[in-house]
Chains A and B, each alone.
Chain A
Amino acid sequence: MDFALDKQHEMARSLFREFAETEVKPLAQEVDETEEFPMETVKKMQKYGFMGIPVPKEYGGQGCDPLTYVMCVEELSKVCATTGVIVSAHTSLCIDPIMTYGTEEQKQKYVRALSVGEKIGAFALTEPGAGTDAQGCQTKAVLDGDEWVLNGSKCFITNGKVADVYIVIAITSITEDKRGRKKKNFSAFIVEKGAPGFSFGTKEKKMGIRGSSTYELIFEDCRIPKENLLGPEGKGFPIAMHTLDGGRIGIAAQALGIAEGALERAIAYTKERKQFGRSIAQQQNTQFKLADMATRVEAAQLLVYKAAMAKATQKVYSVEAAKAKLFAAETAMAVTTEVVQLFGGYGYIREYEVERMMRDAKITEIYEGTSEVQRMVISGALLK
């Protein structure tokens, strides 16, 4: 067993770090303050292939593995969690299901455009009444001739409005089981921006990741071509769940990056900040806190990288993804909270980045499956 990264991954990390420090970090506070989607940064990431890292070259991607992709989200999130989630939602939640379940035509048409940087992707499952209980979705799709007609709405959609391609989960039939209980059968669809009847509702104002574009999607007799059904009809729910398994690894990487970024700043700050005639890093209280945080961050990194490796080599990686996301998200929250405390009053001031990091961290415990959902997945596998 070897924990050392090979040269390719080391060099990829140095690339992501340099890009993040040079192109992303200088804008992070502004992106948070103005709540504006960092389109210029995304264009640069498109140019350098960051939007299709784990995609095979024949579909316009970089031909790298999930670990490289995870390191990209990690390094971006160290300086700006908004930028991290843009890449994560685009790659894990939009490209990945098309790569996994799409027809050759769908892959050539959508994965290529998404990977080479012509288009941005998003994923829409959540509805106002259906969060953790995704079965509660109401959005419906009916086949009418050569077109599917969608009706309903989706909420909290990351990359909403800026995306060009959306994976949308909708009910396509309701069947009854032997006992007469109704069962919703979901299907997955590829919906393009501009489809007739597809519009955007409210833009959400959020606590953190404020530059990420979070919108409500509205489908009113939205018509899409018949061939935009993704995967077999009626298999939308397992497609969504499998997609979220991959997405959780991306969010785990985002959470890991936030924690690492906060820890780096804490190390620098506590060495400079003087109280009682010496730096606070010379106080044992600080030293022990830093030690605990560093240990926890490294444990999170091992879980996240293990999940990325599992995605590369295994068909099913739900438990690895759930453990990585659960631990990394709770680490991000705990570490950023502690770092704000170490910064004292300055930590509470918006000029200092750690305040933003603490706000950004919270969402990682909520989206793409709450920490409670991750515990359900992990315990479910233990007790089955």
Chain B
Amino acid sequence: MNIVVCIKQVPDTKGGVKFNPDGTLDRASMLAIMNPDDKAGLEAALRIKEEIGAEVTVLTMGLPKADDILREAMAMGADKAILVTDRVLGGADTWATSTTIAGALRNLDYDLIITGRQAIDGDTAQVGPQIAEHLGVPVISYAEGIKIEGDYVIVKRQYEDRYHEIKAKMPCLVTALSELNVPRYMTPGGIFDAYKKEVTVWGRADLKDVDDSDLGLKGSPTKIAKASDKVRKGAGEKVVLDAAESVEYIMGKLKEKHVI
């Protein structure tokens, strides 16, 4: 079976985010990593590969330096890597991005497409389901478990207090949560092999059945008025008390703030 995992290079937001004066992310000043949800999706694909056999292709749309995460994915065990990069694709919102990725996917044979639920830079959770819509395949989002049974994929779809088990005939698209698994490390030898392999690079001309009007900044209906980092709260107050005292303390605080 063929699995395509869509991954994205994102700035590591652990240490906070920085913006350019025009409101876009200052990506250059932040460490670039593979989006955590995508990495969990890749791990899920690699486990399927180990269990029942599959060819795992990773696909990303981004700047040429997104090559780094494709190599990382191959060092973890992905078989092939495709980088979709072109100046005309720059400035894409979720619509233009999903159009682009769907255009790339139309060139490939796939049984299962896995994307991350959402990227930690944009947090929209839109691209995965939109790709499925463009391709006309079913989508199961928020996967906290993925199993393959014959021609079907069975997904545990997460809800706040429960999960649904959903079965769909492949081809199908699944969006993965980082809670899905703990992704493996690369291996040293895997890294060296990954740099010996070729990354397929596609541009606008390689995208199938897409209109120019749906690509890049011009094809993006979303306009960002203003962006800012969330306001950080103070360090808070740390108290160490036993259970009974803690309850009393918390109740006191809640009353003080007129919450109860």
A interface residues, Cβ below 8 angstroms from B: 7-8, 11-12, 15, 18-19, 48-50, 53, 57, 61-64, 68, 72
Residue pairs across A and B with CB atoms within 8 Å: the count is 50
Ordered by A's residue number, 11 sampled pairs between the chains whose C-beta atoms are within 8 Å are: A11-B71, A48-B184, A48-B188, A49-B190, A50-B188, A53-B188, A57-B189, A61-B189, A64-B191, A68-B188, A72-B188
In Å, the complex CA distance between A8 and B185 comes to 15
From A7, A18, A19, A61, contact of B195 by CB (8 A): A7
B186 beta carbon closer than 8 Å to chain A: yes
Residues of B within 8 A of A68 (CB): 188, 192
In Å, the complex CA distance between A53 and B186 comes to 13
Residues of B within 8 A of A15 (CB): 75, 185-186, 188, 191
User: Chain A nearest CB: distance from B8 CB in Å?
Assistant: 18
Q: Mark B157-178, 1 if CB is under 8 A from A, else 0.
A: 0000000000000000000000
Closest B residue by C-beta to A19: B185
User: Chain A nearest CB: distance from B72 CB in Å?
Assistant: 7
B191 touches A8 (CB 8 A): yes
User: Chain A nearest CB: distance from B7 CB in Å?
Assistant: 16
B187 touches A48 (CB 8 A): yes
Residues of B within 8 A of A7 (CB): 68, 71, 195
Residues of A within 8 A of B68 (CB): 7, 11
Residues of A within 8 A of B72 (CB): 11
A49 touches B195 (CB 8 A): no
Residues of B within 8 A of A8 (CB): 191-192, 195
B71 touches A12 (CB 8 A): no
B187 touches A49 (CB 8 A): yes
Total number of B residues with any Cβ neighbor in A under 8 Å? 15
Query: Which one of A11, A18, A49, A72 has the highest number of Cβ atoms from chain B below 10 Å of its Cβ?
Result: A11
In Å, the complex CA distance between A376 and B218 comes to 71
B185 touches A12 (CB 8 A): no
Q: Mark B6-20, 1 if CB is under 8 A from A, else 0.
A: 000000000000000
In Å, the complex CA distance between A49 and B77 comes to 14
In Å, the complex CA distance between A61 and B188 comes to 10
Chain A interface mostly helix, strand, loop or mixed? helix
In Å, the complex CA distance between A64 and B186 comes to 14
Query: Which one of B71, B72, B186, B188 has the highest number of Cβ atoms from chain A below 10 Å of its Cβ?
Result: B188
Closest B residue by C-beta to A53: B188
In Å, the complex CA distance between A72 and B189 comes to 13
User: Chain B nearest CB: distance from A67 CB in Å?
Assistant: 11
B188 touches A49 (CB 8 A): yes
A64 touches B195 (CB 8 A): no
Residues of A within 8 A of B75 (CB): 11, 15
User: Chain A nearest CB: distance from B235 CB in Å?
Assistant: 14
Q: Given contacts A7-B195, A8-B195, A11-B71, are A18 and B189 in contact (CB under 8 A)? A: no
In Å, the complex CA distance between A12 and B187 comes to 8
Residues of B within 8 A of A57 (CB): 189
Residues of A within 8 A of B193 (CB): 63
User: Chain B nearest CB: distance from A339 CB in Å?
Assistant: 24
B188 touches A12 (CB 8 A): yes
Shortest 7 CB-CB contacts between residues of A and residues of B: A62-B189, A49-B187, A62-B188, A8-B195, A11-B191, A64-B188, A63-B189
Residues of B within 8 A of A18 (CB): 185
From B71, B184, B185, B192, contact of A62 by CB (8 A): B192
B185 touches A64 (CB 8 A): no
A11 touches B189 (CB 8 A): no
A49 touches B189 (CB 8 A): yes
Residues of B within 8 A of A72 (CB): 188
In Å, the complex CA distance between A64 and B192 comes to 7
Closest B residue by C-beta to A6: B195
From A48, A53, A61, contact of B185 by CB (8 A): A48
In Å, the complex CA distance between A147 and B154 comes to 59
Residues of B within 8 A of A49 (CB): 187-190
Q: Mark B180-202, 1 if CB is under 8 A from A, else 0.
A: 00001111111111010000000
Q: Given contacts A7-B195, A8-B195, are A64 and B71 in contact (CB under 8 A)? A: no
In Å, the complex CA distance between A7 and B187 comes to 15
User: Chain B nearest CB: distance from A62 CB in Å?
Assistant: 3
Q: Given contacts A7-B71, A11-B71, A11-B72, are A63 and B192 in contact (CB under 8 A)? A: yes
